[in-house]
Structures are given as C-alpha cells and as structure tokens.
C-alpha cells in the first residue's frame, strides 16, 4: 500500500485522498466501502473552508 501526506489544502481534496487510502486498506483486508457502516468527520475550524 502506498502512503502519503494529507495536504493542508481544501477539505474536499483531503477527503478524496483519505477515502482512496481507506479503499486500499479495506481491499487488502478483503473488504470494500460497502462493508463500512458509519464514518465520522471531525473539523477543528468549520469557517476555514470559507476562506
């Protein structure tokens, strides 16, 4: 599995990157996103996206 660093860019791009990493990890474990029941998002500053 390749790893990378999540940039300090926009939340959308960060989310896409993380979902790709989760998909790869699930695949290696013999699972997929269809097996995920719930996810959570924690934001430290919701106003940051408006800047």
Q: What pLDDT, on the 0 to 100 scale, is given for residue 33?
A: 93
Q: What pLDDT, on the 0 to 100 scale, is given for residue 49?
A: 61
Q: What pLDDT, on the 0 to 100 scale, is given for residue 46?
A: 72
Residues 1-51: pLDDT tens digits?
A: 556 666 666 778 888 888 899 999 999 999 999 999 887 877 777 776 655
Q: What pLDDT, on the 0 to 100 scale, is given for residue 26?
A: 95
Q: What pLDDT, on the 0 to 100 scale, is given for residue 3?
A: 62
17-38 in b/e burial notation, b at 16+ Cβ within 10 A?
eeeeeeeeeeeeeeeeeeeeee
Per domain, the residue ranges of the chain are 11-50
pTM of the model: 0.64
Assess contact for 32 and 24: CB atoms under 8 A.
no
């Amino acid at each position: 599995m390749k790893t990378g660093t999540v940039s300090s860019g926009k939340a959308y791009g960060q989310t896409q990157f993380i979902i790709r990493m989760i998909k790869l990890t699930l695949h290696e474990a013999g699972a997929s996103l269809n097996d995920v029941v719930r996810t959570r998002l924690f934001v430290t500053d919701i106003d940051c996206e408006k800047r």
